[in-house]
């Protein structure tokens, strides 16, 4: 029979070896009327944070998804809730486009 200490060590090592992954925050910078990086990879549960460094407002708009407004020099975030491929754009400046590939946990 395992002692309490051995059981705790075994449990801890199992968690480490299982690759238990925590959610991440992925930052996208908006500068010079562009998303950078424009193509990102995330996992369900990750947070995408867009930081607008331009002197004008922008949006982060995804069809059937989110529609965030970012005033100049402000940030907004969204937690990714489902896996898939998502295109987004700025509804004020339609030439600004980005893409997110989201993997399941």
- 10 Å CB burial of residue 2 (0-12, 13-18, 19+) is exposed
Specify the CATH class of 23-103 in words. mainly beta
Q: Which residue has the higher pLDDT, 10 or 23?
A: 23
Tell me the three state secondary structure of residue 31.
coil
- Domain spans in the chain, listed from the N-terminal domain onward: 23-103
Report the predicted TM-score, pTM, of the whole model to 2 decimal places: 0.79
Are 26 and 86 contacting, i.e. CB atoms less than 8 angstroms apart? no
Q: Which helix (H) or strand (E) holds 28?
A: strand 25-30
Q: What is the pLDDT of residue 66?
A: 86
Does the pLDDT of residue 29 top 90, yes or no?
A: yes
Q: Tell me how far apart the alpha carbons of residues 27 and 31 are, in angstroms, rounded to a whole number.
A: 13
Q: Which helix (H) or strand (E) holds 9?
A: helix 4-17
Q: Could you report the per-residue pLDDT of 33-69, keeping only the tens digit for each? A: 999 999 999 999 999 999 999 999 999 999 878 899 9
């Amino acid at each position: 029979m395992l002692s309490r200490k051995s059981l705790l060590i075994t449990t801890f090592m199992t968690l480490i070896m299982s690759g238990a992954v925590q959610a991440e925050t992925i930052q996208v910078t908006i500068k010079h009327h562009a998303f950078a990086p424009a193509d990102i990879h995330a996992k369900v549960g990750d947070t995408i944070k867009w930081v607008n460094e331009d002197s004008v407002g922008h949006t982060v708009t995804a069809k059937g998804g989110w529609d965030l407004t970012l005033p100049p020099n402000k940030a907004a975030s969204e937690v990714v809730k489902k896996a898939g491929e998502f295109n987004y754009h700025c509804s004020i400046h339609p030439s600004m486009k980005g893409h997110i590939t989201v993997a399941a946990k």
